[in-house]
A and B are shown apart, each in its own frame.
Chain A
Amino acid sequence: MNRRPLQLDDQALDALISKAMGDGAVAARNGDGRPGLLELDDLSPECEVERDLATFAAACCSDWREPVPAALRSKLDAAAAGWVAASRAASALPQKTAAPARSDDLRGPIPITSGRQQAAQRRSGQWSRLWAIAATLALAVVVGSRAWSSGSAPTQATTDAKLAALRAVGDVVEWAWSAGPDATGQAVTGSVVWSASRQEGYMCFKGLASNDPRAEQYQLWIFDARRDERYPVHGGVFDAPRGSGELVVPIDPRLRVEDLAAFVVTVERPGGVWVSDRSRISAIAKKPA
């Protein structure tokens, strides 16, 4: 591959870097907030700079060979199966010579004219049909993956039934919550129930202050004695709706917990954080001494 030096002065290069950093230029090309995939093989200076930034981003991923969490891999495998099924379904459909592009696919003037790129445009007509089918199939996968967040949590009755079933499992532990220093947890009572064999558990709260999800959310951290204390396992983001009384929240550990030491609930910005500064701890449940 050959990337020649860009013949741009500092000011022009700075402007292209700023655009490629996401100040709106990329999405603006399609006018709908969705990135313009037509330009992926574009050789304009604007796209070249974006490509360089992507190369640097890949170079910074020193952990790229580490496996993704098992739960995520399962979802990706399901999405892949959906894509393959859609591919087979699309290939079984009669071919159209001039299939109209989907409204969300080929937008605006095409700024590329090389033979290779024209071939890509022809291929995209076939792929747009495939994309329509695959997107439908994959949507179910993506929507299904949101079950762990508070927005589409299981119904309370279902959760209560699952909690009751889990309590019957032999290796279940149940630890009481104690209040953390943050005001949101001052009146908290209840317990957390966990089965190591099933890697499944529930948080039961009374008195946890309600939150405004637009401003902040609760996040669970699971401390595993076999892991570095600085990096507890993320256990999910959840809300305490106003007037919820007793709240039962399923735990969704993103990694396997081997030697459970404590559960800690913090208050974080919406969506949660990867590393908490632990400045707002609402509740703690520790392994009994």
Chain B
Amino acid sequence: MPDSILQRVAAGDSAAIKDCLDRYSGLVWSLTRRFATPSEAEDAVQEIFLDVWKSAARFDPTVASEATFIAMIARRRLIDRRRRSSRQVGTGPELHDVPEREVRDLAAASELGEDVAAAVQALESLRPDQQRVLRLSIYQGLSHEKIAESTGIPLGTVKTHVRRGLIRLREILSGQAEGADVSQEEAS
């Protein structure tokens, strides 16, 4: 008996379509606002949900949470749109005003799934400047080169921050985290 929203969507439960919007439209809108321009954001959100509904049968709760599955589709759509848009007008993503540290609600993240909560924990284990690089890279979709250029952080260090963040996430999700503070590793 399917029980997750996406499994119900895949099974043809029409009520699940509305449930999907109720639960995840804020997530998709949040991601879209960081990637797309105001004039294309609403179209992008609609396209993303059409892809989500179409792809719902591919959702596997043993691999990732629904939030991750939907964020993955959203990122693909948004990156693809940005690529096309950049080709047309010759502009790339811009650096937004991003605070070094942001208060995160672990309870709210946990509602999105175990993996998302682990990602919050992984983020919190990083130094503020490392968190900022990860957010610029992953949340806003800036290239490593653009981040290095905008922040003055060496390119190699930008790559290291992102890489260490992902490694930390894997450690937490696989239960191998030993309490090591990544920021201390980086500082050494």
A interface residues with partner B (beta carbon < 8 Å): 1-6, 10, 13-14, 17-18, 21-24, 26-27, 33-35, 37, 40-41, 43, 49-69, 71-73, 75-77, 79-80, 83-84, 87-88, 91, 116, 120, 123-124, 127, 130-131, 134-135, 138, 141-142, 145-146, 149, 214-215, 217, 219, 234, 237, 254, 269-275
Tell which of A55, A68, A234 touches B71, judged by Cβ atoms closer than 8 Å. A55
B182 at the interface (CB under 8 A from A): no
List chain B residues, Cβ under 8 A from A27. 76, 79-80, 83
* A-B CB contacts (within 8 Å), total count: 272
Are A131's CB and B21's CB within 8 A?
Answer: no
A146 and B57 alpha carbons, distance in the complex (Å)? 30
Are B60's CB and A41's CB within 8 A?
Answer: yes
Binding site secondary structure of chain A: helix
List chain B residues, Cβ under 8 A from A145. 42-43, 46
Are A68's CB and B60's CB within 8 A?
Answer: no
Are B83's CB and A57's CB within 8 A?
Answer: no
**Given A135-B50, A145-B42, 4 other A-B residues pairs in contact with their CB atoms under 8 A:** A55-B118, A56-B134, A57-B71, A120-B58
Are A57's CB and B75's CB within 8 A?
Answer: yes
Total contacting residues, chain B, CB less than 8 A: 98
B188 at the interface (CB under 8 A from A): no
List chain A residues, Cβ under 8 A from B154. none
Are B96's CB and A58's CB within 8 A?
Answer: no
Tell which of A80, A214, A275 touches B21, judged by Cβ atoms closer than 8 Å. A80
Tell which of B25, B38, B72 touches A272, judged by Cβ atoms closer than 8 Å. B38
List chain B residues, Cβ under 8 A from A75. 42, 46
Are A54's CB and B72's CB within 8 A?
Answer: yes
Q: List 20 A-B contacts (CB under 8 A).
A: A1-B114, A5-B171, A6-B167, A35-B80, A37-B51, A40-B58, A40-B69, A54-B72, A54-B75, A55-B116, A56-B134, A57-B138, A60-B135, A61-B139, A62-B104, A64-B108, A72-B25, A116-B60, A124-B58, A214-B88
A120 and B145 alpha carbons, distance in the complex (Å)? 38
**Shortest 10 CB-CB distances between A and B: which pairs?**
A271-B37, A35-B76, A22-B79, A59-B119, A54-B72, A60-B139, A54-B71, A61-B30, A272-B38, A64-B27
A141 and B42 alpha carbons, distance in the complex (Å)? 11
Are A60's CB and B163's CB within 8 A?
Answer: no
Given contacts A21-B141, A271-B39, A272-B38, contact A67 B166 (CB under 8 A): no
A108 and B97 alpha carbons, distance in the complex (Å)? 41
Are B58's CB and A57's CB within 8 A?
Answer: no
Are A5's CB and B163's CB within 8 A?
Answer: no
Which of A54, A62, A142, A215 has the most chain B CB within a 10 Å cutoff?
A: A54
B148 at the interface (CB under 8 A from A): no
Tell which of B50, B84, B91, B120 touches A269, judged by Cβ atoms closer than 8 Å. B91
List chain A residues, Cβ under 8 A from B51. 35, 37
B78 to chain A, nearest CB (A): 9
List chain A residues, Cβ under 8 A from B135. 60
A126 to chain B, nearest CB (A): 9
Are B137's CB and A21's CB within 8 A?
Answer: yes
